[in-house]
């Protein structure tokens, strides 16, 4: 779908050429484009402000049928995300106009202050991600994605960055896969079906893949995962995916919360709180999709995905508040609340990952707490770790991909809040405050000496409303972030 070439708008026949415009500065090197922008800015309805756009048809002296100018706003605030977003809005506009293809003029490295590779990659990301529609449950498809988006760059840049379209497509297709999995309703992704879907793609991609069913999980001692699943007729699964890079010295384990539906269990969620809980497997979707994309991008590091999958339902067989369970690590947990199920399945998965792989680092992604959404809102994820260098690396990747993260504290004295009178630990804090932190501290009890990061993505994993390059539904949060990180640590 992505193309990178140099074009001549006076000669090359184009259906649609798109030119991004800043309100206060010329950002293009090409003289023809510069003149066209001047003309557009003379129109009373267009001043280059963000989200403004204007279209000219059959411009004089050009082989182009349609010329669209897209506003970006003032240059000083035009960061890479502004270019990602403008490309996204362009593609969405193209889809609603019923176009099949369009060409976007990439602005100048010198004039924007962004390196060409970064600028091209960001715009390509916005374009691919915006070209995704989740309409598989609609009998009538109202819109069709574009078939091709061409990025117009200088001839030497087209040669220099010939590898970029492939790299961007691999990362964005992973993101889209994760989005789709999250958007699929819970009735179509119960643990068995979801695990099988991941495994089938993973085997095709050449990843070492295993799926364990409930019988194996019970036998191996995954007591917490089994306990969460015992209220549902659909039994738990565990998927492991391994990507190995030749000569790699480091192994990173990615662990993802895969609760295909979180009703809360016997501590049943009330009314509105249950809406949207099909998204409670977004961490697992991000991890599985990252492994699949890594198989294409081939970072120089071993990556293992450990993915516990379960449905949290109330029933006569469900776990009760007050029950005490034995986790994979051997530690016992008193169930203070059956709705705090994510930390239980992650406790088993983390303990297993450490024992089986002795990784250099573990990173878990989970829609773990509503408290995290209270703290940081619906667009920002929380990063919990004692490792300053890992936190910095994640925050740096997060700035590059604009999957926003914020580091949170892990105060030692809050661990007291998880004490149980009867078991080694409780899954429920004795305080109603700081729930995202106490959830992270619960996980830390299962980590021992391994370097570990927990990312709570409860807010940004799902979007109720569409934005520049994302539709409503799963956002695929974390996939681009993890891929960026894997290439740098």
Summarize as ranges the residues that interact with ligand BES (CB under 6 A): 262, 280, 337, 339-342, 367-371, 373, 428, 435, 458
Q: Which does 456 bind (CB under 5 to 8 A by kind): Zn ion, ligand BES, none?
A: none
Q: How many CB atoms lie within 10 A of CB 13?
A: 9
> Smaller CB distance to Zn ion: residue 259 or 303?
259
The residue whose two tokens read 């593609």 is: 91
> Smaller CB distance to ligand BES: residue 164 or 234?
234
- Nearest 5°: the CA angle 168, 135, 282 is 60
> Smaller CB distance to Zn ion: residue 72 or 366?
366
Report yes or no: 236 and 226 within 8 Å, Cβ to Cβ: yes
- The correct pick among 125, 262, 364, 484 for binding Zn ion (CB under 5 A) is 262
Catalytic, out of 269, 379, 399, 407: 269
CA pair distance 464, 462, nearest whole angstrom: 7
Task: Based on the residue annotation, tell me whether 203 is a catalytic residue of this protein.
Answer: no
DSSP string, 241-259: EEE--TT---EEEEEE-EE
Report yes or no: 280 and 326 within 8 Å, Cβ to Cβ: no
Q: Which does 369 bind (CB under 5 to 8 A by kind): ligand BES, Zn ion, none?
A: ligand BES
| Residue 325 structure tokens | 């369970």
Reduced to 3 states (helix: H, G, I; strand: E, B; else coil), residue 209 is strand
Q: Which does 306 bind (CB under 5 to 8 A by kind): ligand BES, Zn ion, none?
A: none
Catalytic, out of 89, 257, 343, 480: 343
The least CB distance from residue 160 to ligand BES, in Å, is 42
Task: Based on the residue annotation, tell me whether 31 is a catalytic residue of this protein.
Answer: no
Q: Which span sits near Zn ion by CB under 5 A: 102-110, 120-128, 243-251, 341-349?
A: 341-349
Reduced to 3 states (helix: H, G, I; strand: E, B; else coil), residue 7 is coil
Smallest Cα–Cα separation from 474: which of 88, 202, 129, 128? Answer: 129
CA pair distance 396, 15, nearest whole angstrom: 39
- Burial class, 199, CB count within 10 angstroms (exposed 0-12 / middle 13-18 / buried 19+): buried
Reduced to 3 states (helix: H, G, I; strand: E, B; else coil), residue 455 is strand
The least CB distance from residue 229 to Zn ion, in Å, is 13
Is residue 435 a contact point for Zn ion (CB under 5 A)?
no
Residue nearest to ligand BES (CB): 370
> Smaller CB distance to Zn ion: residue 251 or 427?
427
Report yes or no: 407 and 454 within 8 Å, Cβ to Cβ: no
The least CB distance from residue 314 to Zn ion, in Å, is 12
The least CB distance from residue 52 to ligand BES, in Å, is 35
> Smaller CB distance to Zn ion: residue 103 or 366?
366
Residue 416 gets which letter from DSSP? G
Q: Which does 146 bind (CB under 5 to 8 A by kind): Zn ion, ligand BES, none?
A: none
DSSP strand pairing (462-463 vs 473-474): antiparallel
> Smaller CB distance to Zn ion: residue 145 or 314?
314
Report yes or no: 288 and 202 within 8 Å, Cβ to Cβ: yes
> Smaller CB distance to ligand BES: residue 290 or 369?
369
Q: Which does 371 bind (CB under 5 to 8 A by kind): ligand BES, Zn ion, none?
A: ligand BES
Cα end-to-end distance, the chain, whole Å: 30
Reduced to 3 states (helix: H, G, I; strand: E, B; else coil), residue 311 is strand
Rg, the chain, Cα only: 24
Is residue 280 a contact point for Zn ion (CB under 5 A)?
yes
Q: Which does 337 bind (CB under 5 to 8 A by kind): Zn ion, ligand BES, none?
A: ligand BES
Q: Which span sits near Zn ion by CB under 5 A: 8-16, 147-155, 342-350, 380-388?
A: 342-350
Residues that bind Zn ion (rule: CB under 5 A) add up to a total of 6
Query: Directed axis angle between helix 479-486 and helix 388-401, to 10°?
Result: 120
The least CB distance from residue 189 to ligand BES, in Å, is 15
CA pair distance 115, 441, nearest whole angstrom: 40
Report yes or no: 342 and 366 within 8 Å, Cβ to Cβ: yes
Q: Which does 370 bind (CB under 5 to 8 A by kind): Zn ion, ligand BES, none?
A: ligand BES
The least CB distance from residue 318 to ligand BES, in Å, is 14
- The correct pick among 53, 339, 348, 364 for binding Zn ion (CB under 5 A) is 339
The residues that touch Zn ion, with contacts defined as CB under 5 A, are 259, 262, 280, 339, 341-342
Active site residues: 269, 343
């Amino acid at each position: 779908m992505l193309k990178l070439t140099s074009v001549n708008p006076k000669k090359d026949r184009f259906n649609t050429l798109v030119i991004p415009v800043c309100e206060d500065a010329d950002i293009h090197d090409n003289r023809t484009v510069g003149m066209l922008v001047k003309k557009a800015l003379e129109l009373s309805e267009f001043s280059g402000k963000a989200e403004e756009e204007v279209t000219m048809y059959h411009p004089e002296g050009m082989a182009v049928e349609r010329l669209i100018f897209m506003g970006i706003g003032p240059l000083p605030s035009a960061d890479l995300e502004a270019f990602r977003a403008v490309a996204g809005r362009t593609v969405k506009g193209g889809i609603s106009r019923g176009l099949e293809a369009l060409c976007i003029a990439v602005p100048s490295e010198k004039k924007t202050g962004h390196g060409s590779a970064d600028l091209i990659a960001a715009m390509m990301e916005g374009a691919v991600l915006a070209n995704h529609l989740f309409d598989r449950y609609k009998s009538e498809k109202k819109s069709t994605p574009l078939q091709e988006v061409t990025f117009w760059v200088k001839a030497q840049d087209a040669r220099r960055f010939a590898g970029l379209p492939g790299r961007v497509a691999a990362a964005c297709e992973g993101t889209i896969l994760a989005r789709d999995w999250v958007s699929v309703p819970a009735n179509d992704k119960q643990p068995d079906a979801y695990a099988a879907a991941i495994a089938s793609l993973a085997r095709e991609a050449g990843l070492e893949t295993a799926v364990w069913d409930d019988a194996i999980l019970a036998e191996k001692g995954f007591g917490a995962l089994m306990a969460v699943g015992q209220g549902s007729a659909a039994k738990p699964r565990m998927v492991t995916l391994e990507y190995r890079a030749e000569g790699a010295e480091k192994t990173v384990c990615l662990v993802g919360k895969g609760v295909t539906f979180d009703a809360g269990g016997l501590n049943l969620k009330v009314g509105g709180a249950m809406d949207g809980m099909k998204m409670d497997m977004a961490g697992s979707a991000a991890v599985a999709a990252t492994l699949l994309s890594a198989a294409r991008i081939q970072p120089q590091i071993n990556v293992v995905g450990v993915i516990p999958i379960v449905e949290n339902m109330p029933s006569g067989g469900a776990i009760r508040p007050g029950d005490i369970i034995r986790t994979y690590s051997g530690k016992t947990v008193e169930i203070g609340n059956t709705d705090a199920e994510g930390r239980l399945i992650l406790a088993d998965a983390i303990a297993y990952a450490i024992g089986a792989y002795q990784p250099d680092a573990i990173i878990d992604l989970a829609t773990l707490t509503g408290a995290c959404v209270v703290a940081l809102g619906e667009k920002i994820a929380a990063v919990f770790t004692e490792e300053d260098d890992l936190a910095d690396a994640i925050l740096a990747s997060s700035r590059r991909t604009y999957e926003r993260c914020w580091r949170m504290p892990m105060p030692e004295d809050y661990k007291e809040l998880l004490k149980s009178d009867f078991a080694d630990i409780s899954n429920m804090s004795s305080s109603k405050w700081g729930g995202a932190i106490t959830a992270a501290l619960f996980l830390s009890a299962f980590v021992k000496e391994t370097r570990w990061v927990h990312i709570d993505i409860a807010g940004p994993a799902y979007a109720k409303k569409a934005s520049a390059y994302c539709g409503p539904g799963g956002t695929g949060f974390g996939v681009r972030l993890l891929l960026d990180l894997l290439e740098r640590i």
